[in-house]
Structure 1
Amino acid sequence: MSNQANSTVISNQANPTVAALSASAAYPLANVTKTAPQFEAITPRWLTRLFEWKGLDTGIYRLNKVKEGDSPLEVLCSLTHTEEIPQSFVNYEETPREYVLNSISTVINVQTRVADLYGKPFDQVQEQLQLAIESIKEKQESQLINSDDYGLLKNASDSQRIQTRNGPPTPDDLDELISKVWKEPSYFLAHPRAIAAIGRECTRRGVPPQTVQLFGSHFLTWRGIPIIPTDKLFVDGHKNPKGLGGKTNILLVRTGESKQGVVGLYQAGLPGEQSKGLSVRFRGIDSNGVGSYLLSLYCSAAILADDAVAVLEDVDVGNYYDYQ
């Protein structure tokens, strides 16, 4: 026995490669720290946080307006005149616009065997529902901007649209937007690349934008108005554009019902309500052991007055190298 041990030692000294447990063999015994599924498409969705939201009882919102003339004085419609006080009334539009809430829905199916056997450390059903909810909310923000029916970009008045002066967004362009939404403007909305172009152009002119802190994050401002980033204002019609150039739009928005601004609409009191206008309902388990969940989000937006939104069109986002 002693001779055998000595022989082993001598052998190891002669061969510097010592037999040891390999990493691949050890791996099955090791604990692995795991993350929840990382969904790169998720954004901060600042727009939905900044909106003033109004819950509806029936899913319909009627926007009553005064029938106006060229001057506020023309709103008063005289019935009779006396030597003392003229008698008048304020007339209303006879066919006001009605907004019916839009539905964004999807169905999530999860095999119960999978949920039962592979439910730790992450609940498979909850992870699937959460990822679906995030996707729906991303769609919601996109619709608030781009929907043909109620999106801010498509429903801004023609009188509130202006063209860029010289390609990239300039301080003059931003001031022109402010002249369109001069009654208590709330924030600009722009693609991140458009915001970078604003910063470059303002710095080039010697007026670098200041910053403000909202929701624990810093935002550029112009004339004290925050410039909020969103990738739902597409560049060349794409959410994630390729290349360095491209055209986009910039919005200036006034929000709030009391300010006759923009108001977000949602259905209040839904069964299975998770957040404003969003519900999750369990549909049951079928004969194949598949559990089904219906996710529905009901929303819309109303521009209460034409001067609540202005659009700067055909903004050239350019690129950093154009300024070198």
Structure 2
Amino acid sequence: MAEVPSPQLALSDDAARQLANATKTVPKLSTVSPRWLTHLLEWLPVEAGIYRLNKVKNPRDVRVACSQRDESELPQTFVDYDEKPREYFLNAVSTVLDVHTRVSDLYSSPHDQIKEQLRLTVETIKERQESELINNPDYGLLANVAEEQRIFPLTGAPTPDDLDELLSKVWKEPAFFLTHPLAIAAFGRECTRRGVPPPTVSLFGSQFLTWRGIPLVPSDKVPVADGKTKILLLRVGDKRQGVVGLFQPGLAGEQSPGLSVRFMGISRNAISSYLISLYCSLAIQSDDALAVLDDVEIGKFHDYPDTYK
């Protein structure tokens, strides 16, 4: 005897969804980070893409004296300048974005395809900018640490003693530590083990661990290799003779300081092209504005993805 199918009592969810409007998000880019370093630096505009860092030559040769009342002679001195100061040239991080006109014409509701393509590309360029500020072999932080400002951990893992040693190197108004998130976690474990959990501070609406009142700022652009990384300590600002970022103002198609977006036209294949460029560099105005704790152990190498190499 054949089974009688059960009667459908109500409209099914699958059928009902055919009439519903889905709320669609803009594309989410997993590689985007807060980029705290670019937020915390002071940025100086430069002319013609060149920044000449003039320094005093032999600063300890400048002589002054505290004379007694009955002394009439005063020391004679002058301040000499370096005859060959270093010049920094702005570095370009750029790409050409291509968008087919058919795509932008037909599929730009509710989200504008060109706007989203530009937004995601700019985010990627800014991520590369932060990486260059840290790792560029010419002007990056790690390539320009003075040898006397480079130290090594006492035990391998980052400890309060190590960070105190960094503070002794950058003792004139230190601004922040900069390191990989894994190093901050390792430092937190060491503090907990010693019974001195570090306090936190709120910056830009986010919480940061601190040591001696100085925030530990995370960046995944600080390199990790073989289970080791680095911790940097910076003094920032032009008036403090610290680390400063450099950018070119007044660019054609300027969207934000140093960043320009320019329409390049439409090809015979109906491809719209946009040139996106970001011009920047970085200068360390005084050697004692930057120090680094090298070879910081953060755990076993196989515990972390190869992308941290």
TM-score, structure 1 as length reference: 0.86
Cα distance between partner residues in 2 of 1:154 and 1:301: 11
Q: Residue 92 of structure 1 corresponds to which residue in structure 2? A: 81
Residue 29 (structure 1) aligned with residue 19 (structure 2)? yes
CA distance in 2, matches of 1:114, 1:19: 42
Contact map agreement 1:76 1:90 (CA 8 A) in 2? no
Equivalent residue letter for 1:165: L
Asked if the contact 1:76–1:91 (Cα under 8 Å) also holds between the matched residues in 2, the reply is no
Is 2:284 the counterpart of 1:303?
yes
For 1:266, the equivalent position in structure 2 comes to 247
Write the letter of the residue equivalent to 1:202: C
Which secondary structure does the structure 1 equivalent of 2:77 belong to? Answer: strand
Tell me, yes or no, if structure 1 residue 291 matches structure 2 residue 272.
Answer: yes
| Alignment partners' CA distance in 2, 1:233 and 1:75 | 39
Q: Which amino acid aligns with 1:164?
A: P
The answer to whether 1:54 aligns with 2:44 is yes
Distance 2:82 2:63 in 1: 14
Pick the aligned partner of 1:316 from 281, 297, 300: 297
1:248 equivalent to 2:237? Answer no
Provide the secondary structure at the position in 2 that maps to 1:48: helix
- The two structures, once aligned, show a CA RMSD in angstroms of 2.1
- Secondary structure class of the residue paired with 1:35: coil
1:102 Cα deviation (Å)? 0.3
Equivalent position amino acid for 1:196 in 2: A
Structure 2 equivalent of residue 123 of structure 1: 112
Render the CA deviation track for 1:49-92: whole Å, top value 9, x for unaligned: 000000112110000001126xx2x2349xxxx96223321111
What is the alpha-carbon distance in structure 2 between the residues aligned to residue 110 and residue 21 of structure 1? 41
Query: For 2:294, what is the secondary structure of its paired residue?
Result: strand
Cross-structure match for 1:45: 35
- Aligned AA for 2:55? K
* C-alpha distance in 2 between matches for 1:152 and 1:165: 23
Aligned length: 294
Q: Give the aligned residue type for 1:52.
A: E
Which residue among 62, 67, 72 is the counterpart of 1:75? 62
2:196 to 207, 230, 254: 207
Contact residue 62 and residue 77 of structure 2 kept, 8 A: no
Give 5+ residue unaligned stretches, structure 2.
Answer: 65-70, 304-309
> In structure 2, how many angstroms separate the alpha carbons of the residues matched to 1:42 and 1:261?
27
The alpha carbon displacement at 1:29 in A equals 2.7
In structure 1, C-alpha distance between the alignment counterparts of 2:180 and 2:79, rounded to whole Å: 42
Compare CA radii of gyration and give the structure with the larger one: 1
In the other structure, the counterpart of 1:137 is 126
Give the aligned partner of residue 150 of structure 1. 139
What is the letter of the counterpart of residue 75 of structure 1?
Answer: V
Other-structure match for 2:151:
162
Could you report, residue by residue, the CA deviation over 1:93-136 in whole angstroms, capped at 9, with x for unpaired residues?
A: 11000000000010001111110100100000000000000000
Match of 2:264, SS state, is: strand
Q: Equivalences for 1:98-113 in 2 at 5 Å?
A: 98-113=87-102
Deviation at residue 179 of structure 1 after TM alignment: 0.4
Provide the rounded CA distance (Å) in 2 between the counterparts of 1:56 and 1:66: 21
Given that 2:63 and 2:75 are in contact with CA atoms closer than 8 Å, whether structure 1 keeps it comes out as no
Q: CA offsets, 1:148-201, max 9 Å, x none?
A: 111111111111000111011000000000000000000000111100111110
Pick from 198, 209, 234: which aligns with 2:223?
A: 234
Give the secondary structure class of the aligned counterpart of 2:81: coil
Q: Contact (CA 8 Å) 1:199, 1:209: kept in 2 or not?
A: yes
On the 8 A contact 1:110/1:292 being kept in 2, the answer is yes
Give distance in 1, aligned partners of 2:277 and 2:10: 57
The 3-state SS of whatever aligns with 1:89 is: coil
